[in-house]
Structure formats: structure tokens, C-alpha cells
Amino acid sequence: MEHSAGALQGPVILHWLQDGAIGRAMRESLWLFPAVEIVHILGFALLIGTIVALDFRLLGWRMAAMPVAQLASLTLPLSIAGFALALPSGLLLLTTEAAHVGVNPAFLAKMGLIFLAGLNALLLHRGAWRSVAAWPADAPPPGARLAAIASLFLWLGVLIAGRMIAYL
């Protein structure tokens, strides 16, 4: 639902987020915004760092001869923890300028790329990943390697789009 011409522009929910108590607190506090931004960056670093490690392993980069399934069992909890930090902190950051950021092309691209990265992971886990225990140590199947390449490009796009939000 959008406001009519002459009124506020953009979806009502974005104005509600921005004008609410959390949005005001995020804008008015000297330390709250920077603290939340640090949490968001740390969450994304943890999330993307662990995903990149697994993607490189799927592409054949051997890390101390660790099998893919073993590396995944170590990185998945850290990826989830990173996402658990990045998502709520990102929502808090959005509240500061939701009416502007929520319609920003870079923000929309970032959200779309995150969705596609999640879909890529889901397709990997519903496809090639089902036989991960049987993969040769040095040769993940082509579907897994393709998913790793897509993941690397999608997450790089997320980082670029996220940074571009401030400039558009």
C-alpha cells in the first residue's frame, strides 16, 4: 500500500519503521547506530567468511585435507550465527531511513541477491549435497562447483550493493 500523490512517498510500512520509537532511537542516540552497524558488519563478515571458505573447498581448494562434509559441519553453525547477527542489525539500521533506503535500488538489489544466494544454497542442499558423503575427496560434482561459483558471485554482489546504498 502506498500513499497518494502529494503525501508521503513509498510504502506505509517503511514510514512506520522510520517514524517509530526504534527508528527515532537509532537516529538520536550517539552510540546506538555505530554499535548496531558494527554488529551488522561483524555478522556479515562471519556469514560471508564461512561461506567463502566452503565455496573455495567446493571448487577444489584443499584445506588441510578436510572433507567437504566435515568443513561444512564446522562452518554452518558459524554461518547461521553470522546471519543471526546480520539480519536483526540490518533491520535496525533500516529503521533510521526506511522511507529512503527501502526504495533505494542498491538496497533492493542487495535484498534480491541475498534471496538468490539463499535459493542457491537451498538448491545445492536439495541436489548435489544429498550425496556429499560419497564425493571423492578431490572432486565435488559439477553441480556443487557451479553452486559455489554462483555463491561467490552472489555474495560479492551483496557486499557491493550494500556498500552502494550510501551513494544512491
Residue 2 pLDDT exceeds 50: no
Q: Report the distance separating Cα 19 and Cα 105, nearest Å.
A: 22
Q: Where are the domains of the chain?
A: 12-167
Query: What pLDDT, in 10s, does the model give residues 53-105?
Result: 999 999 988 776 788 999 999 999 999 999 999 999 999 999 999 999 999 99
pTM above 0.95, yes or no: no
Kindly compute the dihedral angle of the four CA atoms of residues 73, 79, 84, 85, in this order, to the nearest 10 degrees: 140
Residue 149 pLDDT exceeds 60: yes
Query: What pLDDT, in 10s, does the model give residues 62-74?
Result: 776 788 999 999 9
